[in-house]
Chains A and B, each alone.
Chain A
Amino acid sequence: MLDVFELTAVKPQVASELEDFDQTIALYQQRIYRLLLAQIGEPDVAEDLTQECFIRAFQNRSRFRGESQVFTWLARIAINLARDYFRNRRLAFWRRLSRMDNSEEENRRAMAVPDRSVSPEDLVIQREKLASVMELVKQLSQPQRETLLLSVIEEMSLDEISRCTNRRIGTVKTHLFRALMNLRKWQEGKHK
């Protein structure tokens, strides 16, 4: 099935239509959300960044030349957004520390309406599972985490991860190796 990005190469005027883009969102939104959730570990932030990812993709759709898969391109945008998020969060931490007041993000979360589409029990189980995984994953460095999650969750090849993270294949391999070793070490430590 052709989506808006594959159409870009054929008919740019068709791609500009929002109706077509809606199909692309429907195809990839779950995967992008999962990817961001795995990177960040916070469902609210992952939701916001998923929306931002598609907005950026639509704004920059002319840059997509069809050299990689649509998902690889979207995942690259998502990875960059996650990097920006961590960078801004670090800055926000120092700002908060210096001003000792609540950040805009915290205020926004306090005002947020809870998601009622998932039952409270499911939500608790989901959060617990996520927390147990994130406890391990968050100990990895950012490049290791990005590489491991793209490999394990999205089952991307080294070449695809290299495109997504804008790193050389050799570097990707090294990060993946180190991530696996660290994970193994921590898992064994947990079992003991």
Chain B
Amino acid sequence: MLVHLSEEEFALLLAGKDDEMASGHLAICSQCEHKLENWKADLRQIRDAISFSSQRPTEYWQVQRNAITRKLEALPSLGNFWNFGWTLACYALALSVLVLGFINFHQTQIGMQPKTEISDTQLLNDLEDHMTEDVPDALQPTDLLVSEMSDTEDQGTKIIHNEALRKSK
């Protein structure tokens, strides 16, 4: 008994699936072949309806072409864009160099102290005064502590020295 193709098999055939069994069946079954032609006719109807709906006179297409060309002409070209970009970049670079130069110059001006002329004699006198001047009040206890410590150290050293002499004798 001849088993006819199912709806799925028809759809698969139309969807481009290679099915030798189905193709073989179609070759011998006029009923299925007719059914497949019906499917194709339905699809052709869709195509024809859309093709018919999209038909326009020649003038229409000409007008559309002109509209596209006008829009394309109005577009800024890529070359112009790059030229503009490079010019802008160069200006920005020049400006940044100027700004950095100005900032650097300004900082150098602030950092530099005016030179003062002073004689060697005056410099020595200043140094001597600085060395001989009294210790500030806040450091007085520290000064006392240091002197006491140095006295204690001297006495300790003497005792150790004397003991060493005695032992050697």
Contact = CB atoms under 8 A, between A and B. Distances in A.
B68 A133 contact: no
B16 A176 contact: yes
Contact of B56 (A51, A54, A117): A117
Contacts of A173: 15-17
B138 interface: no
A173 B5 CA distance: 19
B11 A177 contact: yes
Contacts of A47: 64
A46 B55 CA distance: 13
B79 to A, nearest CB: 9
Given A37-B54, A153-B47, A153-B50, A180 B11 contact: yes
A104 to B, nearest CB: 18
B60 A18 contact: no
Contact of A33 (B49, B54, B73): B54
A29 interface: yes
A129 B7 contact: no
Q: For B42, B54, B75, which residue has the most chain A Cβ atoms within 10 angstroms?
A: B54
B54 A30 contact: yes
B15 A21 contact: no
B14 A180 contact: yes
A158 interface: yes
B59 interface: yes
B106 to A, nearest CB: 48
A133 B7 contact: no
B71 A181 contact: no
B12 interface: yes
A110 interface: no
A89 to B, nearest CB: 20
Contacts of A30: 54, 56, 61
Given A33-B54, A129-B53, A187 B64 contact: no
Interface string B1-37: 0000001101110111100000000000000000000
Interface of A: 18, 21-22, 25-26, 29-30, 33-34, 37-38, 43, 46-47, 50-51, 54-55, 58-59, 115, 117-118, 126-127, 129-130, 132-133, 136-137, 149, 152-153, 157-158, 173, 176-177, 180-181, 183-184, 187
Interface of B: 7-8, 10-12, 14-17, 39, 42-43, 45-47, 49-57, 59-61, 64-65, 67-69, 71-73, 75
9 contacts: A21-B72, A25-B65, A25-B69, A30-B56, A51-B71, A58-B72, A137-B46, A153-B50, A184-B42
